[in-house]
Amino acid sequence: MTRPARLIVSVLPGLCLLLVWQAYAQWRPDSDFFVGSPRGIAREVRATLAGGLLLRDFGVTAVETILGFLAGSFLGTLVGLLLWASQTVFLISRPYLVALGSLPVFALAPVVIFWLGTGIGSKVLIGFLSTFVVAVLQAHTGAADADPNLLRLTRAFGGSRRDQFVRIVAPSAAIWVLAGIRLNIGMALLGAFVGEFLASRAGLGHLIIVAQGLYNVDQVWVGVLGIMLIASLFHCLTLPVERWANRWK
Amino acid sequence: MQSLKAEERESRGSDRDGNAWMRNVSVRLGERDMVVQVLDRVTCCFSCGQVTAVVGPSGCGKTTLLNVLAGLVEPQEGEVHTPSGDGHGRRAGYVFQSPSLIPWLSVRRNALFGAEVGRGLDAAVELRCGSLLNRFGLRGFSDAFPRALSGGMQQRVALARAVLAEARVILLDEPFSGTDYLLKWELEEELSQVVDEEALVAVLVTHDLDEAARLADKVVVLSVRPGRVKAQIEIDAPRASRLQRTGESTSLIEFWLQRIVAAVSSRDDGSDLASVQ
């Protein structure tokens, strides 16, 4: 199947779903209140776009996700690498990392909001907390996974421990982190959303919560679609990065 | 601490002739109750411009001997000297049994790795890298990743990397065991030429006694563990005459092969009775 043909075919099921949905809404107008309708969603999109609210909420969630992801991945990688340098520190900190890593972000989110307020900062920190441990463990695994033969080789060729770290260990760790980039960006998005859901003034999570309060199902769907759009967008952005990181495999 | 000791040794040892040597070197590996004596009072000279083959039964410490020369293993007793040459500290071109290329670097970057780490890159070595890769049959592969190469090709990159490191010492741990015959001969010739051209100290660990008879100027025979020098055979027929693949060179190789085989299978002092039977 050619690429355009595949695209057309993959659009069809979604289109069918919308048509059936709309037909149902026409047939039973009273159901509109509970399940909404594509036409109602389109109306909501137009209305929120016109007021600039949709774009603002979309942008806020996207920015929170990116910042949380970058901070968590960067610092996590750094810490993971440092833990490679000292086995003792790693062993001491491992139970804490495992504890933090297995904690659902939902549990920490209220405290974070209590500390940082309902703005973007608290969402970034929640995103950071959800990605940090993954990045630490990925980086540490990658560093520990560095081929001992390559380390020996570097030394035989006259390289120092610094050379070993910079040329073998760090790339090996970075590759692991980059390879896990999609997982981590999903975690950051989840973190941002959870934060917005609990307390916020803007963002798609905020939009959904407000819509729920107003029994505006169509607007809830707008929020859901927005989240899906952000997730797909980041997915498309991470694909080339991931491909680049894995190009030698 | 260790590097200090190594420098001290280098300054004391004479660097004039560019040879490497070890005197009464003993190595014990392992920790606590699992200590194994691997090398026992090994004394040996590795002359520059010569290929010294090290043969012996598996587990006799051949690889450890290379690691001692590379500075990767510090012997508990004895003295080691390697020529440092250009003042870039102790370093050696090392070819492992497995190619051990860096998977995320291109073939070219891999080949240059030894030079980059050891003494830094310059235009000359980059130029040389291109011509060496061509000579080793890797034309057109310089931007490929190691994964795209066959095992034999990867091993050639590893050999190029060791040569391009431009160290005074090149250590080879069964480098040709994975390559086919024709290529093996070519690589042996290349290696032989490089050793001559640059007066390198080349130490070749091999299982293949035929290869030792073909390529070595001297063969050091180690006993079973703990490895001791059982015999040293100076092959006084020029390497070039044995690498020609003519009838004459075949009979030369045959002659030396027999002497090596005799030395390997001779019993020395009772400790390796098992290996003789």
Helices (H), chain B: 2-12, 62-70, 107-118, 123-135, 151-164, 181-198, 209-215, 239-242, 247-265, 273-276
Identify the contact set of chain B against chain A, taking CB-CB distances under 8 A.
Answer: 67, 70-72, 88-94, 96, 98, 100, 102-105, 113-114, 117-119, 145-147, 165, 167, 171
**Closest residue by Cα to residue A188 from A249, A238, A241:** A238
Residue A99: is its pLDDT beyond 70? Answer: yes
Q: What is the pLDDT of residue B17?
A: 64
**Closest residue by Cα to residue A188 from A114, A113, A122, A126:** A126
Q: What is the pLDDT of residues A145-168, one digit of tens each?
A: 889 889 999 998 988 888 999 999
Nearest CA in chain A to B162: A157
Q: Of the candidates A147, A149, A158, which has its C-beta nearest B117's C-beta?
A: A158
Q: What is the pLDDT of residue A45?
A: 92
Q: What is the pLDDT of residue B3?
A: 45
Residue A112: is its pLDDT beyond 60? Answer: yes
Q: Of the candidates B67, B117, B147, which has its C-beta nearest A248's C-beta?
A: B147
Q: Are the beta carbons of B266 and B95 closer than 8 angstroms?
A: no
Nearest-neighbour CA in chain B from A205: distance (Å): 40
Report yes or no: A249 at the B interface, CB cutoff 8 Å.
yes
Q: Of the candidates B94, B98, B145, which has its C-beta nearest A248's C-beta?
A: B145
Tens of pLDDT, residue by residue, chain B (277 residues): 444 444 444 444 444 568 888 999 999 888 878 888 889 899 999 998 999 999 988 888 888 999 999 888 889 999 888 887 666 667 889 998 888 999 999 999 999 999 998 888 888 899 999 998 998 888 899 999 999 998 888 988 999 999 898 888 999 998 887 777 777 888 888 889 889 888 889 999 998 898 888 889 999 999 888 888 988 989 888 888 888 878 888 888 888 888 888 888 887 554 444 433 3
**Closest residue by Cα to residue B95 from B8, B182, B177, B4:** B177
Instruction: Supply angle C-alpha A69, A73, A74, rounded to 5.
Output: 115
Q: How far is CA B104 from CA A76, A108, B115, B147, in A?
A: 22, 38, 18, 9
Q: Are the beta carbons of B13 and B81 closer than 8 angstroms?
A: yes
> And the tokens for A167?
């040329």
Determine whether the interchain pair A156/B147 forms a contact, defined as Cβ–Cβ distance below 8 Å: no
Q: Are the beta carbons of A218 and A45 closer than 8 angstroms?
A: no
Q: What is the pLDDT of residue B13?
A: 43
Indicate if ipTM > 0.90.
no
Average confidence score pLDDT of chain A: 89
State the DSSP H helix or E strand holding residue B29, giving kind and residue range, or none if neither: strand B20-29
> And the tokens for B202?
């080349």
The tokens 């972000």 sit on which residue? A105
> And the tokens for A16?
């069918």
